[in-house]
Structure 1
Amino acid sequence: MRIGILGNGSMAEALGGQWAKAGHELFVGGRSVERAREVGDRLGVRGGSLQDAAAFGEVVLLAVPAEAAVATVRALELGNSTLIDCTNAITHPGITLAVDAMAETISRYAGQARVVKAFNLAADSVWRRAPLSGQPLGVPICGDDQHALDQVAQLVRDLGCEPVHAGSLERARLLEATAAFAIGIWFGGGDTRGLFPPKDEAF
């Protein structure tokens, strides 16, 4: 796939690095073209402006800070690309959602782009180490377009992880709330892995 990456921070480099290794074509874009090119050089791909990255990608990863996400999307021509939102708008202390669901808000300004929420439940360090040992990490994805969901599911598998179809884009608000809930537990020293029973005993 041709993947445009909006942003040149830790999530952009972590996910982009894995997808580059998997053989995808990447273009890293940033407000600072120089920095985007530096990240691109480290990944062995091209770098340039945000609009260059948006125009390049049939799939576009939105990996800018949550507070800049809407403004970034509004400023770009995204066409009918698949737009992956991995942002979390979370306030500290208390670890609560700062705004309404980011993915739904972004979709209102994304034109014909098909928004999919994914990759928001783990930090960049997790994606850099993927695939993890043991059982494949499940990655929830929410969206309304089946082709876009299929594209993102493949990108999840390319990390050695397992896509978990979690419903429509409307359900992204639950996924974002889950991130806030889980991050609060992690900051408190807890481990979320023990919170849920096996599937056949859940209900």
Structure 2
Amino acid sequence: MRIGILGNGNMAGALGAHWVRAGHRVRVGGRSPERAAELARQIGAESSGQLNEIAGFGDATLLAVPYGSAAEVVRETGGALAGRVLIDCTNPVGPGFVLTTAEGPSGARRIADASGARVVKAFNLCADSVWRHTPVAFADGPLAVPLCGDDEAALETVRALVRDVGGAPLDAGGLDRAGLLEATTAFLIGLWVGGHDPRTMLPPTHAMA
């Protein structure tokens, strides 16, 4: 599979390295050509390039930039994302662990509207340090990765990429539910920063029967 990565930070490197090891053709693009080239070298990607070039390269494209930069990065792709599979791992979370999207559309919906892409929200619940595990599995088994999207073909593409990092895809509904996933992330970040283990809030499945 051809995978384009927009961004040259931690999430881009963590996920991109998995996909390179899985045998995919990966290219990296960023607003800093030098940093994009360096990340491509570090993870063994095929090459780097301009944002619009990378956006038009992949069978799937990962948007791995801070949410505050996402709209501008999408604009700089010049429409190359229209109709393409776009994986949104951004988090519109601001100071105080609150959503910067307030009561409006989710970050994923805004990215979909701005890009015209078939957006799948995924990989946003955990920090890059989690995604650097090889594979992304722990004592209880593979890490479940919630996916929100409206296009079945796009979802199937992203499911395969989740499996390539060692995770287990978890269908979480359409893109209209991405805002719930973003809010969950904001809540969890607050717990983690406070030193709490979110797992202690949830009973085992059999207790819910």
* Deviation for aligned residue 1:98: 1.1
TM-score (norm 2): 0.92
Following superposition, the deviation at residue 79 of structure 1 comes to: 3.5
Alignment of 1:93-104 (within 5 A): 94-99=96-101, 100=104, 101-104=106-109
Q: CA deviation at 1:68?
A: 0.7
Which consecutive segments of 4 or more residues in structure 1 shift more than 6 A?
Answer: none
Contact kept, 8 Å, 2:7 with 2:29, in 1: the verdict is yes
| TM-score where L is the length of structure 1 | 0.95
Q: Which residue of 2 aligns with 1:3?
A: 3
Instruction: Tell me which residue corresponds to 1:58.
Output: 59
Superposed displacement of residue 62, structure 1: 0.3
Partner of 1:43: 43
1:91 to 2:94 alignment = yes
How far apart, CA to CA, are the structure 2 residues paired with 1:146 and 1:130? 27
Q: Deviations over 1:143-198 (max 9, x none)?
A: 00000000101111111110110000000000000000000011111001222222
| 1:66-145 pair list within 5 angstroms | 66-76=67-77, 77-92=80-95, 94-99=96-101, 100=104, 101-111=106-116, 113-131=117-135, 132-134=137-139, 135-145=141-151
Measure how far apart 1:80 and its partner are. 2.0
Whether the 8 Å contact between 1:8 and 1:35 is mirrored in structure 2 is yes
Task: Please state how far the C-alpha of 1:114 moved relative to its aligned partner.
Answer: 0.3
CA distance in 1 between counterparts of 2:138 and 2:195 reads 22
1:150, 1:105 → 2: CA distance?
22
The answer to whether the 8 Å contact 2:51/2:76 transfers is no
Q: How far apart are 1:17 and its partner, in Å?
A: 0.5
Task: Map residues 16-35 of structure 1 onto 2, 5 A cutoff.
Answer: 16-35=16-35
d(CA) in 2 for partners of 1:37, 1:48? 8
| CA distance in 1: counterparts of 2:208 and 2:81, whole angstroms | 41
Identity percentage of aligned residues? 53
User: Once the two structures are superposed, what CA deviation does each residue of 1:62-90 show, in whole Å capped at 9, x if it has no partner?
Assistant: 00111010121123211321000000111
Q: Residue deviations 1:88-113, cap 9 Å, x none? A: 11112x211111411011111112x2
Q: 3-state DSSP class of the match of 2:202?
A: coil
Q: Confirm or deny: 8 A CA contact 1:130 1:161 kept in the other structure.
A: no
**1:34–1:48 CA contact under 8 A, matched in 2:** no
**Structure 1: gaps (5+ residues):** none
Quick one: distance in 2 between partners of 1:154 and 1:199?
26
Please give the alpha-carbon distance, in whole angstroms, between the structure 1 residues aligned to 2:172 and 2:182.
12
